[in-house]
Structures are given as C-alpha cells and as structure tokens.
C-alpha cells in the first residue's frame, strides 16, 4: 500500500496538545527540548500551560506546530524505523514540517526559520490592517473573480484552496469585507471571518517573503529522502535553490491543497496519515476524495493503531 504523511499548519494548536504522547514516548520532550534550545524559551511549557494568547501568537504557534509534527513523526520512527511513505506534504506552515521530516533541513534550522517567518509575517502587516475569511459553497473560479471585483485598488485574494467548496481569502480589511459581502450575494453557503492577525499567502506578504529569502540564502539544505509536494506548484523538488524558491513564493501565493491531495491520489497513494494535533487535514481530505483513507496520529492510541496498520 502506498501511503503519505501530511502535516497541519496554524489553527490546529491547543493548550495541552501531545501531553498523552509525551507521557509514553520520551522522544516528544526531546524534540521540544531541542526546539526550546533554538528559541531561548521553554516551548513545551507554553504548549502545555499557555497562556493561550501566547501560544496563538504566530511566531510561537509556528515553532510549536512544527515541533509537534516532528515529535509525532519521530515517535513513529522509534516504533517502526523502516517507514516508507511515498510522499510528504504540509499545509502552509506544515510544509516546513514535511521538509524537516524528509531530511531537507534539520529540526534546529526548521525551528529557526518558522520563528523568523512568524515574526516577519506579523511585521509585514500592522495589527488590524489585514483579514482572512473562509468562503463555503462557491466554485474556486467564482471566489477568484469576486476577489478581483472586490479589490478596488486594495488587496484581497483567494489564498487557500482547501477542499471543493472551501476557499480562504485574505487581504486588507476593507477589501476582504467587500469580498465577503459579494460572496454572500453570489449565494455562498457560509462566509466566516477567521480569527487571525496576519493575512497569509497574499500579496501583502511580499515584504516578509523578501526578508525570508535573505535568511534562506544563508542556509544549506539537503536533498529530500522522501518526495515532498510543495504548496505553490504541487511539484517535488530535489534542488535546494528550487526548494528555497518554493518557500519564498509560498508566503504570498495560494496553498493548493486540493491539487496536492489529487496529485498524491494520481500517483497511487491509497492512504494519508495526518501527523500532529487536530484533525483539520483529515476533514479536508474527506471532502476532496472520500475514497482515500485518512488516519490522524496525535496520541498514544492513534500512534499504536497506525503502527499496527503499517
């Protein structure tokens, strides 16, 4: 059976996540200790004890989610060293987790990068100036067009193609509000403003992308030991220059999650394993292709079940 590992992004974090897994698998705290050494503060303490407002700060959320995904992955490796996924992929921030898991960058490099990424994203758009919203029940092209119509000299774009009938838009507050109203007029089933401080994956992130590029230019990456599908072009890259370029573009270009899952399916993948807290990707994937099996791994019981199946 061909299978793939997928890693969630921001939004799946919660206070106390992975506590059960850590109690039974020492590698979890080892991963968080390594991450904390890079960050200069106790990441595990924040993850377990909060406060929630701090965990939800993007420059803390991003390393917390990357460490969580790698902790689950290494716990799996400890139980079954001969894991052979056909692909790895991650949603937005999760792409970095996939690249660490695939050996492209070290955990320390990944933590350093995503902490900087969070800070750069936050500084690119002042608080209160950007917004994101989920549009449910319209065709992708309708959402792309309504964003173009609603921009009116501002910025609003379709940025996450999450599943058929679920597209996230992002941009400047006024433009996003116009687009939300237009979506309702066009018959969207639901339009929901998202509680985020940063309008990810739109043109407003270009200053952050330029700064991230400078940081990436000073890093050395390895070729992946498992094919990683990138959000931007839904391609696998072995050349470090191409990988870096994909990460820079990812900051201001849409996340093509539907196409990512469809690509894995077309390549013969029969089952996806979501590694990390929450079940966001499992929910999306069931709407993309109900015939593809999905398992989530986030505690001792789900880990044991997955290992038995593998």
d(CA 193, CA 179) in angstroms, rounded, equals 11
Secondary structure of residue 54 in the 3-state scheme = helix
Q: For residue 138, what are the CA distances in angstroms to 6, 144, 182, 256?
A: 26, 10, 11, 16
92 noted as active-site residue: yes
d(CA 159, CA 144) in angstroms, rounded, equals 9
Point out the catalytic residue in the list 92, 150, 163, 200. Answer: 92
201 noted as active-site residue: yes
DSSP code at position 11:
T
Residues 6+ positions from 217 with CB-CB distance below 8 Å: 244
Point out the catalytic residue in the list 25, 91, 163, 201. Answer: 201
Take residue 264 and report the two structure tokens written for it: 């894995």
Residues 6+ positions from 35 with CB-CB distance below 8 Å: 43, 63, 66, 67, 107, 111
Q: Which residues carry out catalysis? A: 92, 201
């Amino acid at each position: 059976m061909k299978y793939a590992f997928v890693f969630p992004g921001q939004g799946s974090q919660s206070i106390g996540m992975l506590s059960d897994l850590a109690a039974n698998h020492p590698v979890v705290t080892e991963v968080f200790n390594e991450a904390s050494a890079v960050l200069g503060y106790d990441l595990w303490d924040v993850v377990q004890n909060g406060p929630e407002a701090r965990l939800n700060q993007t420059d803390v959320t991003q390393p917390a989610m990357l460490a969580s995904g790698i902790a689950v992955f290494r716990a799996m490796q400890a139980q079954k060293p001969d894991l052979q996924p056909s692909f790895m992929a991650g949603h937005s921030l999760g792409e970095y987790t996939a690249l660490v898991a695939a050996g492209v960058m070290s955990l320390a490099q990944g933590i350093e990068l995503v902490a900087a990424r969070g800070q750069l994203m936050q500084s690119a758009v002042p608080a209160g100036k950007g917004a994101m919203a989920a549009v449910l029940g319209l065709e992708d092209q309708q959402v792309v067009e309504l964003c173009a119509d609603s921009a009116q000299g501002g910025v609003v774009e379709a940025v996450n193609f999450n599943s058929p009938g679920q597209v996230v838009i992002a941009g400047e507050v006024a433009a996003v509000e116009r687009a939300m109203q237009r979506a309702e007029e066009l018959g969207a089933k639901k339009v929901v403003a998202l509680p985020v401080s940063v309008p990810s994956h739109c043109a407003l992130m270009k200053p952050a992308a330029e700064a991230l590029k400078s940081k990436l230019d000073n890093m050395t990456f390895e070729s992946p030991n498992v094919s990683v599908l990138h959000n931007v072009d839904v391609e696998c890259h072995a050349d470090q220059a191409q990988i870096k370029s994909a990460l820079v573009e990812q900051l201001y270009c849409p996340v093509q999650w539907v196409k990512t899952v469809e690509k894995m399916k077309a390549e013969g993948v029969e089952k996806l394993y979501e590694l990390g807290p929450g079940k966001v990707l499992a929910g999306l994937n069931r709407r993309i292709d109900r015939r593809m099996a999905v398992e989530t791994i986030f505690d001792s019981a789900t880990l044991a079940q997955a290992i038995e199946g593998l």
